[in-house]
Amino acid sequence: MTTLREISESLNTPEETDFFEEMMDIDIGNYTFTDRKQYDDEGYLYLYSNKNNPNVKLLFNEERSSVILYELQDDNETVNSTVWRYDKKFTKKYNKSELKGIF
């Protein structure tokens, strides 16, 4: 189990995650993240890569107060996503081509 708080501390990015205080103890899974890139020009989206598995990405969306975990499946086409927004959790499947710039 890895919490959003642990990820934020390991990335040393409090300015990017301070809006998630009510969600800091959610379980993201057993992942570590390193490489960060800003995903938009406005400064609201931050995309993190998993250093052990390039098929896993974590997106912080400050504008929508959400965290999204993307997992590219073994078929290299299907992407499972898990979204946490406040006290809610959603899951959805995408085709990789729908998520331009993520993978």
- Each residue's pLDDT tens digit, 35-52: 777 666 666 778 888 777
Q: Classify residue 80: in a domain, yes or no.
A: yes
Q: Cα(66)–Cα(68) distance, rounded to whole angstroms?
A: 7
Q: Classify residue 31: in a domain, yes or no.
A: yes
pLDDT, one tens digit per residue, over 57-71 is 998 887 778 899 999
Q: What is the pTM of this model?
A: 0.84
Q: Classify residue 59: in a domain, yes or no.
A: yes
Contact call for residues 49 and 11 (beta carbons, < 8 A): no
Q: Classify residue 66: in a domain, yes or no.
A: yes
Q: Classify residue 77: in a domain, yes or no.
A: yes
Q: By residue range, what is the domain housing residue 93?
A: 4-98
Q: Classify residue 67: in a domain, yes or no.
A: yes
How many structural domains are present in the chain? 1
Q: Classify residue 84: in a domain, yes or no.
A: yes
Question: Terminus-to-terminus CA distance in the chain, angstroms?
Answer: 24
Q: Classify residue 103: in a domain, yes or no.
A: no
